[in-house]
Structures are given as C-alpha cells and as structure tokens.
Amino acid sequence: MLQLPDSPPRMKTLVSVDESYKLCRHLTAKYAKTFYLGTLLMSPAKRQAIWAIYAWCRRTDELVDGPASAITTPETLDLWEQHLEAMFAGHPKENYDVALVDAIQRFNLDIQPFRDMIAGQRMDLHRSRYQTFEELYLYCYRVAGTVGLMSTAVMEVDNTANTAPWHQSKPLYIPTQEAIALGIANQLTNILRDVGEDARRGRIYIPLEDLARFNYTEQDFCNGVVDERWRSLMRFQIERARQFYTEAEKGITHLAPDARWPVWAASMLYGQILDVIERNDYDVFSQRAYVPQWKKLRTLPIAWMRSQVL
C-alpha cells in the first residue's frame, strides 16, 4: 500500500532532493510499466520531474481508488488540497513532496491542473454513473487531461525546429488541446480496459446514453454479457478513443525535440491496449487487456522514427 500523509501532520526530518526523486522513480517503475518506459527516453531533468508528478498523481488517485479509499471523505481531499498549496508555497511535508517542490520550482509548474485533478477525484467519491459523454469528458479532463498539462510544462514547447527561418518570429504554438487530448485518450483506454474491475465495484464509466444507443442495459453490464450489442458498443468506444489519440499526436511536433520520442512512445504503447481489446473479441469482463513487454520494446524504434519525421 502507498504511504499516504500521516494524520495529524507532524514535524519530521525529510530526505534529500536526490533521495526523494529516487522514491518517486521507484513508485513510477512499480505502478506504471508503460509510462516508466516512456520516461527512460527523456533527458534526466525531465524524467525526474515526471516521476515526481507521477508519484503525486498516483497518491492522489490512491486516496479514492486504493485500499484506504473506504476512509476517504471530502474532508480528506480538502486536507490533500491544503497539502498541495503548501508544496506550491515551497513547503514539503512528506518525503515524496521534496522532489515535487523541486520540480515545481525548476519547471515553474502551474497549480491549477493539480487542483483540477483533486476535483476529479472528488467526483469518484460520489459518482458511479455518467449519463452523457460530456459528463464523462469533464471527469477525464480532470483526472487525466490535467496530467497532459502538467507533463507539457516539463516536456517544454518548441516548434522553432519545424519553422522556416523567415517565420521564426511567429509566437510559439502551445499544444494545450493536444496535451489534454492525450490524457483523455489514455483515460478512455483505461476505462475500457478496466470495465470488469470497475463493474465488480459497482462503477460504470461508459456513458449510459451509449449503453442505451446499443440497446445494452445496466443489468447486462453487471452480468458481464458479451454479445453483438456489447461488441458494437465497444467498437464505438474504441473509435472515439482513437480520435483523441489522433488529435493528440498532431501536437507532438510542437514539443521540444527531446520530448517527442517519449511522448510518441507513451501514446503508441497505451493505444496498443485498444488493439488487445479487439484481439480479445471485446471481452473486458473476464480478461485484462495486457501488452507484453517484448511488444512494448518493439514499439520504441517505430516511435523514434515517428518523432523524427512527423
């Protein structure tokens, strides 16, 4: 189980910045094989900052999704938000915070996406159904689009390499929508992969309006019915997620050159989960779509080529 803040908070000696980055690195490597692989392709300063952000996101997610989630209340999240404000004011309270405070200062991170993510986790406290895609989109923006914004600040924007010399004075294009789109694409993928796990916890993230469109009921969902109605519904969801990947990938060329390969890799690797769902004939209730490590490694040179030419 992850280490969450002690309650009540007490003064303690914290680890050094280097030690704290190590803790964040271990957490990322343990919980997110795909993203960790992506970070290994980054420059050392960028990858460290992403580990620190990952550790904070994971710990935030854990408050509503992990083993201790039964005791999480809106007040727990209020305290977590105060804890966040303290980090942005330069005051780490926990060993994991030391690295994030360093990253906030080095990359001049904005607090708003972090606050928005906490708002997303609040939604998980009191919602287990989404009526429309618009409602689900807001949830996805908050828990994952925000990660795109945080990551872009670290990855840095630079499209001068793609700009003709006589256009060099043009203002930089900031690929905000594309960064959010990659978060949304990842989150939609995550929702489709985890359908079975979520159903067992009484949660349905797929919009109910989509279930109705395919004449598939909540009861069918809870019983894990895989038939032609379900397969058509899943094809529709997969197609929607892929549109977000396509939108996101158009933004990668506006990132700093050293960030393009890792982001292409992360996008392609996470997108492959959708291919596996198709190969499993859309049964996400009894099997978990899983991309083997050798397939992930095989993707890296292709991602590299795309980062050079697209």
Residues that bind ligand LST6JFWI (CB under 6 A): 31-32, 35, 38-39, 50, 53-54, 57-58, 61, 143-144, 147-148, 151-152, 175, 178-179, 182-183, 186-187, 190, 194, 248, 251-252, 255, 262-263, 266
Render the burial of 2-38: b for 16+ CB within 10 Å, e for the rest.
Answer: bebbeeeeeeeebbebeebbbbbbebbbeebebbbbb
33 near ligand ATP, rule: CB under 6 A:
yes
Written as one string, the DSSP assignment of 15-36 is PPHHHHHHHHHHHHHHH-HHHH
**Pick 200 or 213: Cβ nearer ligand LST6JFWI:** 200
Least distance in angstroms from the C-beta of 256 to ligand ATP: 23
276 near ligand ATP, rule: CB under 6 A:
no
130 near ligand ATP, rule: CB under 6 A:
no
**Pick 31 or 304: Cβ nearer ligand ATP:** 31
**What are the E-state strand segments in 122-271?**
none
Written as one string, the DSSP assignment of 64-78 is HHSGGGGG--HHHHH
**Pick 173 or 285: Cβ nearer ligand ATP:** 285
Cα–Cα–Cα angle for 280, 282, 283, rounded to 5 degrees: 75
Question: Which 34-53 residues touch ligand ATP, going by CB under 6 A?
Answer: 34-35
**Pick 34 or 163: Cβ nearer ligand ATP:** 34
CA gap 195, 50 in Å, rounded: 27
Q: What is the DSSP letter of 227?
A: S
Q: How many residues bind ligand ATP (CB under 6 A)?
A: 7
**Pick 214 or 244: Cβ nearer ligand LST6JFWI:** 244
CA gap 67, 180 in Å, rounded: 29
Look at the chain and count its residues. 310
Q: Report the Cα 12 to chain-centroid distance in Å.
A: 31
**Pick 53 or 99: Cβ nearer ligand LST6JFWI:** 53
290 binds, options ligand ATP, ligand LST6JFWI, none, Cβ within 5 to 8 A by partner type: ligand ATP
**Pick 35 or 245: Cβ nearer ligand ATP:** 35
186 binds, options ligand LST6JFWI, ligand ATP, none, Cβ within 5 to 8 A by partner type: ligand LST6JFWI
Which residue bears the tokens 């997110």? 32
Residues 6+ positions from 127 with CB-CB distance below 8 Å: 139
CA gap 218, 52 in Å, rounded: 39
Question: Which 244-263 residues touch ligand ATP, going by CB under 6 A?
Answer: none
251 binds, options ligand ATP, ligand LST6JFWI, none, Cβ within 5 to 8 A by partner type: ligand LST6JFWI
Here's the x/- map for ligand ATP, 284-303, by CB under 6 A: it reads as ----x-x-------------
Least distance in angstroms from the C-beta of 202 to ligand ATP: 20
Radius of gyration of the CA atoms of the chain, in A: 20
Candidates 4, 137, 113; CA nearest to 53 is 113
Footprint of ligand ATP (CB under 6 A): 31-35, 288, 290
